[in-house]
Amino acid sequence: MGARFFSLFVFPLVFCALILLALSIPSFSSPVRLSSPQFLGKFSRRPTSSNKLPVKRYRYDVRYFDQRLDHFSFSDDDPRFRQRYLFSSDHWTGPDRMGPIFLYCGNEGDIAWFAENTGFVWEIAPKFGAMVLFPEHRYYGESMPYGSREEAYKNSTTLKYLSAEQALADFAVLVTDLKRNLSAQACPVVLFGGSYGGMLAAWMRLKYPHIAVGALASSAPILQFEDIVPPETFYDLVSNDFKRESTSCFDTIKNSWDVLISESLKENGLSALTKAFGLCRELRNAQDLVDWLSSAYSYLAMVDYPYPSNFLMPLPGHPIREVCNKIDNASDGSTILERIFEGVSLYYNYTGDVSCFELDDDPHGMSGWDWQACTEMVMPMSSSQVGSMFSPYNFNLSSYEEGCRQSFGVSPRPRWITTEFGGHDIKMTLKMFGSNMIFSNGLLDPWSGGSVLQNISDSVVAVVTGEGAHHIDLRAATPEDPAWLVEQRATEVRLIEGWLNNYQAKRLISVM
Amino acid sequence: MGARFFSLFVFPLVFCALILLALSIPSFSSPVRLSSPQFLGKFSRRPTSSNKLPVKRYRYDVRYFDQRLDHFSFSDDDPRFRQRYLFSSDHWTGPDRMGPIFLYCGNEGDIAWFAENTGFVWEIAPKFGAMVLFPEHRYYGESMPYGSREEAYKNSTTLKYLSAEQALADFAVLVTDLKRNLSAQACPVVLFGGSYGGMLAAWMRLKYPHIAVGALASSAPILQFEDIVPPETFYDLVSNDFKRESTSCFDTIKNSWDVLISESLKENGLSALTKAFGLCRELRNAQDLVDWLSSAYSYLAMVDYPYPSNFLMPLPGHPIREVCNKIDNASDGSTILERIFEGVSLYYNYTGDVSCFELDDDPHGMSGWDWQACTEMVMPMSSSQVGSMFSPYNFNLSSYEEGCRQSFGVSPRPRWITTEFGGHDIKMTLKMFGSNMIFSNGLLDPWSGGSVLQNISDSVVAVVTGEGAHHIDLRAATPEDPAWLVEQRATEVRLIEGWLNNYQAKRLISVM
């Protein structure tokens, strides 16, 4: 859903490194560092609108469920928290008809925002007679332990229970309790999720087969760990999205970093850059600007939808094409940085009502994803010399770990996810032991490189679209949907129908 | 492996209840209470020999692995511990030939003891060219957190990480690390386990399909939770084992409880009972004696093997038959309690070298299983009026919970196991989504009633023997093995061969 570079915890390191490099290295190649991008990061949405939710389009009740903070150890002293979840039984056919339960695995943000941006689930629920559930992920939105976000995010002692395993157990406990209360034990649960939520859906299907009969995991990079896919994959894919629109656009961006650093080192260079890029506050270092620009490119790749959208920012259809148009067709004599500014303005100011750009929207905030990236979600990312339009960068686990220890006092466990959920041999595992999973991906999405792109068996299916971006299939249908998207959603509906028919048939036999 | 009644944490309640009942209730029916039996309890082995291991029969190295105490939350402050594991690569064909890894899921005790009593795994390893691993379960044997058993068992804060989920994660982390170090990532892991270890094997196969290709779960009562099987199942099965040998034996035992209580309430009754039962110390209450007797009957049912054995106590073949012989054929004019003493002496003193019986071998010890039973392993057990030879007793969750809060300051989570691992609908789940599992059970084993006794699919198979007892298939072959046991083991070997052949074939194709 979004990417974020140079997350805050790496920032002090980056800053020092930048100074040192600027002083010691004559060439300006590779003066900046890239940290792992995030699905949702600080530049994904406008600072002013980041907490504002879109108009509520779907009907649901907001409910709360009392959860234990630690499912995997036993103590009466451990705190509990109130998990928010959205609930709709408007179209549910109920227990007697084994009406299914559609459960969206809430990811790293406000669940209401995900619900509004997951129209697909709401739109197909009536056809299936399904209940719809959107449980929120712990430590996000309103589902805060310790009473407030401030307390929950205080330190590693309060944050230690923010993990995928605990979140999955939350979902399992919630839906089991709900089914019991509704005498709906026989009603099949189908999981949905996009991005990190898609990873959760896939993992929950693997780990809780007694709870969920199938999972649609959209844009879920479950293989973006350790050495399973090359670390250059993500940035190469972003870069390809630009190159396919325009080679000169790609080249302009690729060449811009050295120019930017070079400008920043001139006398009053940072002031000049502040002015050139219309920033609200004086630029403190070039890295901030690099970060802001790089983020825009990655987010653009994720939301490179074929129609106008307002998922992260308000954007036209094919936004990368539009950005490259701006870059390529800037007035004659424009400098390289002027072209870059023209391009990036399309992302950050498409509506034209931004008077200046704020690079430091949340100076104090450590995001929940920063914590997750510093514990189990260690996704190595490099930028290649050749295929990437970003500055070359080699992921370095040691400095990554050091950054995490400095920021959170916690050491990452880079091998834990593959131990707990698998990964290295996932295709073999899914082929032999998996079933009822859809991995859907659009190849424009830079996260697609870390997902499952090949059919694995009759019931572990990859739905791949050449022109799709980040979980576009989960978005509400629009009149502008291209034929491939309509077809993609129809395929997914047909597969889900198959799971449910199979389940209901077997269930009826087993009861008889 | 053994059962234990009236575990210590229920004892104070039982004692008070007994006094009240004795004072207030004219009839002596139902004066005692039954708590959940355990696989291994305080009367399962001789007090003096409980820490002594049998002669080492198998060749292995003893190794240690550094584990984190809490796999599911993230903090650098959390302690680590040294997990012991037994390792043998004597017959392993190695990575190049995809030599399998046989992993026995250590259960609630010293791993060396389980290794010695699981001859089957050692005996079939050469045929498969398999590595053999016996990792110890945390908080048992030498695998103690906090430096010592005393510290580890101090209170609920130190005990909170003693759980099945954490133990499975220990196994997963250990074997993943070991395989990486040996470049043996492609070598398939087959899980073995008996009793609680069998439950772990079955659950690990479900939860970690990327780690294990199959599991032999012997005598694994994974359905002994909540209301999945009737709570009377266990004691009814023990009772049936006696009834099938002799109805009069069954009747004598059934009638003995009222007599015993009646005697205990007479003047000097406890002293008389102390003498009659050859106890080392003055009996403090009838409940202790009831406990001691009931335990013997349940353990006898578990180890009702067709040949002489020394798994829990040294015993002849068909020990229940022998006990009933003693009870039925006591000299004419023997009282009912004299007959009972004759019978129970066979269990506690078959070798004839016990000079007196110790009822209070471990007065201070809370066992690890007590903790597990008070947290997640809540197995409701009742004794029926009709089918059981034990005193009638109805399991009462509230008093169970109250007992746990008093003893450990912890509240049980009776619904957690079925949420985390499934249960209510396990056959449907296994049919649709499971594979490569053997549930082996002997119907003499009272734990068999809580296990899977029917074939579920081609690859989820129940191997049931009418004359078998608690995981007899996992024991070393003996010249006295009956034909059905030889055949049972051959079936298991054939099924495991099938899993491995299938895996290796698929693996070769996927590599090509």
Question: Does residue B40 or residue B12 have the better pLDDT?
Answer: B40
Q: Is A195 a catalytic residue?
A: yes
Q: What is the mean pLDDT of residues B465-480?
A: 96
* pLDDT beyond 50 at B239: yes
**pLDDT tens sequence across B261-305:** 999 999 999 999 999 999 999 999 999 999 999 999 999 999 999
Q: What is the pLDDT of residue A301?
A: 97
Task: Indicate the angle between helix axes B336-348 and B286-302, nearest 10 degrees.
Answer: 50
Identify the three-state secondary structure at position A502: helix
Band of the pLDDT at A15, cuts 50, 70, 90?
Answer: very low
Q: Which amino acid is at B81?
A: F
Beta-carbon separation of B428 and A506 below 8 A = yes
Identify the three-state secondary structure at position B450: helix
Question: How many Å lie between the alpha carbon of B145 and the closest alpha carbon of chain A?
Answer: 14
Least confident of A87-101, A337-351, A364-378, B437-451: A364-378
Band of the pLDDT at B245, cuts 50, 70, 90?
Answer: very high
Q: What is the pLDDT of residue B105?
A: 98
* pLDDT beyond 50 at B238: yes
Q: What is the pLDDT of residue B426?
A: 86
d(CA A220, CA A199): 5
Pairing state of beta strands B61-68 and B80-88?
Answer: antiparallel
Of A70, A77, A210, the CB nearest to B425: A210
* pLDDT beyond 80 at B385: yes
Helix (H) or strand (E) holding A82: strand A80-88
Say what the ipTM of the complex is.
0.90
Band of the pLDDT at A24, cuts 50, 70, 90?
Answer: very low
pTM for the model:
0.91
d(CA B273, CA B350): 21
**pLDDT tens sequence across A213-256:** 999 999 999 999 999 999 999 999 999 999 999 999 999 999 99
Q: Is A470 a catalytic residue?
A: yes
Band of the pLDDT at B484, cuts 50, 70, 90?
Answer: very high
Q: Dig out the tokens for A382 from the structure.
A: 């490099």
Beta-carbon separation of A75 and B185 below 8 A = no
Beta-carbon separation of A74 and B375 below 8 A = yes
* pLDDT beyond 60 at A384: yes
d(CA A169, CA A165): 6
Mean pLDDT (chain A) is: 89
**pLDDT tens sequence across A446-494:** 999 999 999 999 999 999 999 999 999 999 999 999 999 999 999 999 9
Mean pLDDT (chain B) is: 89
φ, ψ (nearest 5 deg) of residue A85: -150, 150
DSSP state string for B19-80: HHHHHH-SS-SS-S------SS-TTSS-GGGTTPPPPP-S--EEEEEEEES-SSS--TTS-E
Q: In chain B, what percentage of residues exceed pLDDT 70?
A: 88
Identify the three-state secondary structure at position B156: helix
* pLDDT beyond 70 at A69: yes
Q: Dig out the tokens for B62 from the structure.
A: 């003893």
Pairing state of beta strands B189-194 and B131-135?
Answer: unpaired
Q: Is B470 a catalytic residue?
A: yes
Q: Any CB–CB contact under 8 A between B211 and chain A?
A: yes
Q: What is the pLDDT of residue B5?
A: 31
Residues 329-388 of A with CB under 8 A from B: 375-376
* pLDDT beyond 60 at A48: no
Identify the three-state secondary structure at position A482: coil
Band of the pLDDT at B348, cuts 50, 70, 90?
Answer: very high
Q: What is the pLDDT of residue A216?
A: 98
* pLDDT beyond 90 at A396: yes
φ, ψ (nearest 5 deg) of residue A87: -135, 130
b/e per residue B416-452 (b: at least 16 CB within 10 A): bbbbbbbbbbbbbbbbbbbbbbbbbbbbbbbbbbbbb
Q: What is the pLDDT of residue A508?
A: 82
Beta-carbon separation of A425 and B210 below 8 A = yes
Q: What is the pLDDT of residue B16?
A: 29
* pLDDT beyond 80 at A439: yes
Residues 417-456 of A with CB under 8 A from B: 418-429, 431-436
* pLDDT beyond 90 at A102: yes
Question: How many Å lie between the alpha carbon of A171 and the closest alpha carbon of chain B?
Answer: 10
Question: How many Å lie between the alpha carbon of B330 and the closest alpha carbon of chain A?
Answer: 50
Q: Any CB–CB contact under 8 A between B326 and chain A?
A: no
**pLDDT tens sequence across B144-163:** 999 999 999 999 999 999 99
